[in-house]
Structure 1
């Protein structure tokens, strides 16, 4: 197996969370730079698009390829963020997490339907699992993505824009980390090496 280039964990985290952090900060403090209250979300969206493109550019420059999930998410950020700015309608940027998470859920379930756990392709270099392990992990992540999409819909439709921005930064990420950590028993139970030794 050829050694693939990998980003250092802290740089990877910075590239993934940096644009999101900038989005939160810009929405919270744009008013201090003379922007009207009603324009804060649009300033934050513009910076979010720019920072996302820079993060993808840095990732590509270092790895000579783009990871699937950040690429898909980045395309949706540019499209829906662009619509938000062009139409001056914050609904589009609020829909972005719903669209992305639903897409990931559908793609993962579609892979299972065709007997190809696609999560294995995304995470193959990180975990070595049995076929059953990949199947179970893929199903769990697909359902989790659907749950995140539904949660985003509830939050943006019932709460203020500021609350939604905070939820996007301080809600979705901790939930995702907690869910990933909760999969540890499954990963240990279905580790490929253990299955081969048995």
Structure 2
């Protein structure tokens, strides 16, 4: 199915809006305690409970508008629902904090499995966005596989040794910046192994 183009600003709002709202909500409610059904819930848990349907709605809207969801977007939604739901159900913030770890282990593991089979599964999902020679895909896949496992380790260290405040800042800003920086530092690889799109003869 062809991917429908939508306004880039709208796309960015749908992709990052829930995360930004989660961060704002956390800043406002982090010190609050809510009594719900006879049980006390920290503001962090309440915000997590609100984040889940917001994430579902934004992902469904993105799918409706574009007619497409990447495997990464689908996996992220599943992890949010699963680990966020467990945090709310058990009134335990450790589950949602483990979510990035599980997500990056999943992505790193899938890329690693493909590498063991001599394949770049990254190429399957990103070839249209970044056309590269086969050797370039294999190098990028190895690097990204190691990077995902590194992020998983970093998340575990942060949430287990630091305060919730630090983890929220790390999750909201640190992880996206790290991902952006990773691809920025691949510029030499893209230049060396990039494949120029073929153009028709000039008329």
Whether TM exceeds 0.5 here: the answer is yes
Deviation at residue 77 of structure 1 after TM alignment:
0.4
Tell me how large the CA RMSD over aligned residues is. Answer: 2.1
**Aligned twin of 2:200:** none
Deviation at residue 4 of structure 1 after TM alignment:
3.5
CA displacement, residues 133-191 of structure 1 (integer Å, 9 cap, x when unaligned): 11011111111111100000000001111111111011111111111111111111101
Q: Whose helix fraction is larger, Structure 1's or Structure 2's?
A: 1
Deviation at residue 101 of structure 1 after TM alignment:
0.5
Counterpart Cα distance in 2 of 1:167 and 1:33:
21
Deviation at residue 8 of structure 1 after TM alignment:
3.8
Which deviates further from its counterpart, 136-145 or 31-40?
A: 31-40
**Aligned twin of 2:100:** 97
Provide the secondary structure at the position in 1 that maps to 2:42: helix
Deviation at residue 51 of structure 1 after TM alignment:
1.7
- The structure with the larger Rg is 2
Deviation at residue 63 of structure 1 after TM alignment:
1.8
- Structure 2 alignment gaps of length 5 or more: 198-203
Deviation at residue 116 of structure 1 after TM alignment:
2.1
Which deviates further from its counterpart, 38-47 or 119-128?
A: 38-47
**Aligned twin of 2:25:** 26
TM-score (norm. length: structure 2) = 0.87
Deviation at residue 61 of structure 1 after TM alignment:
0.5
Q: Aligned to 1:131, which of 118, 131, 134? A: 134
Aligned residues: 193
